[in-house]
Structure 1
Amino acid sequence: MKRSIAVIAMSVVMLTTFTSMQQDVSAANSSVVTRGHIENGVNLRDKPSLSGRVIGLLKKGSDVTVLERSNDYFYKVQSGDGSIGYVSASDKYISVGETAATPTPSPQGASAVVKYGVNFRDEPSASGRVLGMLRKGSAVTVLERSNNYFYKVLTESGQIGYVSTSDKYLEIGGTVPGPTPTVPVPSVPTPSPAPAPGAPSISERIESVIRTGQKYLGTPYEFGSDRSTTTSFDCSDFVRQAYREALDIVLPADSRKQGQWVRDNGTAVYDIGSLKRGDLVFFMEYRGSSPSAYQGVDVNNERITHVSIYLGDGQLLHTYSAKSGGVRVDKFDGSWKHRFLYGGSVLK
């Protein structure tokens, strides 16, 4: 009798310990949810990739909930209005209170062995970025069949990615789960004169561009500067950097193509008095400081040689020579007025 009681008691202790271990494992697998602060305006996309559709813009100074770090380059976040999407993980755009954990999936699924070397991608698509190659003979866990062409798999090193469903590549033992249900991403609101709730207005976006440009005041001038750095600028590189960094709008790389871009995508303005803050302003080559040097010049046949950002109140933000001191603010007078061709807004 005593022996039976002892066995029962031992069984209860083992069951309690096993249950506790299961709970600890479950807690270890849960994702960390933390707060994020938007340092600079950043696009909210419908998938964790630069090819993702832009569904909104998170304003500088706003707070979000970081749901997970989806990959090396994107966080999955929920904004203050409840929208869920993906933003760049660069600390230029977002700061987080603690490291957002990459979701650790439970390794429930079908075990598989790689039969033939296969590309390991970051999206269930042939256009997905190749993260590496899974070698023949390596083992993976197939988490789901994401679509007709790709499995979502977990490697032995803990990486998650996607591989082809062709039976040429994997030998699977067991049943593969179906795709995990996803939270629907809000669709882009139909454009209207009034901005969508929470979305920055055009004037706010323009101010973001100007603030970005002004932080480079004094940066040296270099003709034909490297478009991938911010150590020096020529005029078109400076304008391009301000719009790309502030609004993720990538303008053409030279001033003539930028001028054509404004004509093709907006309304060209040929009267200085009609220019608005944030407009790009295009100029012909320098011929002299007096009005007479420009008499008889047909502006329609003149080639663009310079571009700047109009600040309003007769001021230009630009860079035009090493001697001038690099990025600076100048008055829109004298030869600048004589050289003026046209201007226009990048934003509609």
Structure 2
Amino acid sequence: MKYNLNQLTKKIAAAAIALSIAISGGALLSAPKAEAATASASSKATTIINAAKAQMGTPYKFGASTSTTKYFDCSSLMKYAYKKAGITLPRTSKAQSKVGTYVSKSNLKPGDLVFFYSPVTHVGMYIGGGKIVHTYGKPGVTTSTINSGWWKDHYNTARRVL
């Protein structure tokens, strides 16, 4: 085959365009998967947060059984709420602090577990807007702000399980 320079340039340009479309088309095809995973995590986070918030005011009891919703301790509340989204957590806050992946305080998303004290002895769930849902003493299941006061001073780490 004999090509002149103009024909060769057109063939190379056509090949480059085809390759570009193939590459970007592949990226476009994978985007819905990423969006679906994000939507699924967001949906689970909503389920988990709603389950925990539905227990607002439920009394605190250290070592509360995971087979009742009459009382909760911090880790049994998290175990209960996550179970509503089909996720099984370990029983204690210390064990819960080892599941999922580390997330920095500045990158918290609703549904992330947040831990307090060192060593870890308390767990709550980030619900957005600098707030957590958790339980301790009176008033039982409640919300608190983590960016000031006692909670800011005793913050330890966070984990993303979703």
TM-score by length of 1: 0.36
Instruction: Give yes or no for the alignment of 1:326 onto 2:140.
Output: yes
- The amino acid of 1:251's aligned partner reads L
C-alpha deviation, 1:346, in angstroms: 0.9
Aligned to 1:195: 36
Aligned to 1:252: 90
Q: Which has the larger share of strand?
A: 1
Max radius of gyration: which structure? 1
Number of residue-to-residue matches in the alignment: 129
State the distance in 1 between where 2:88 and 2:68 align.
Answer: 15
Instruction: Give yes or no for the alignment of 1:340 onto 2:160.
Output: no
- The amino acid of 1:193's aligned partner reads A
Structure 2: runs of 5 or more not aligned: 1-32
- Of the three residues 93, 106, 127, the one matched with 1:273 is 106
C-alpha deviation, 1:331, in angstroms: 1.5
C-alpha deviation, 1:195, in angstroms: 2.1
State the distance in 2 between where 1:272 and 1:205 align.
Answer: 20
Q: Spell out structure 1 runs of 4+ moving beyond 4 A.
A: none
- Of the three residues 206, 215, 232, the one matched with 2:45 is 206
Q: What is the percent sequence identity of the aligned residues?
A: 38
- The amino acid of 2:161's aligned partner reads V
- Of the three residues 293, 311, 317, the one matched with 2:127 is 311
C-alpha deviation, 1:194, in angstroms: 3.5
Aligned to 2:55: 216
Structure 1: runs of 5 or more not aligned: 1-191, 285-301
Report Cα offsets for 1:228-258 as digits up to 9, x if no partner.
11110000000110000x2121100000000
- The amino acid of 1:238's aligned partner reads L
Which structure exhibits the higher relative contact order, with contacts defined as CA atoms closer than 8 Å and separated by 6 or more residues? 2
TM-score by length of 2: 0.75
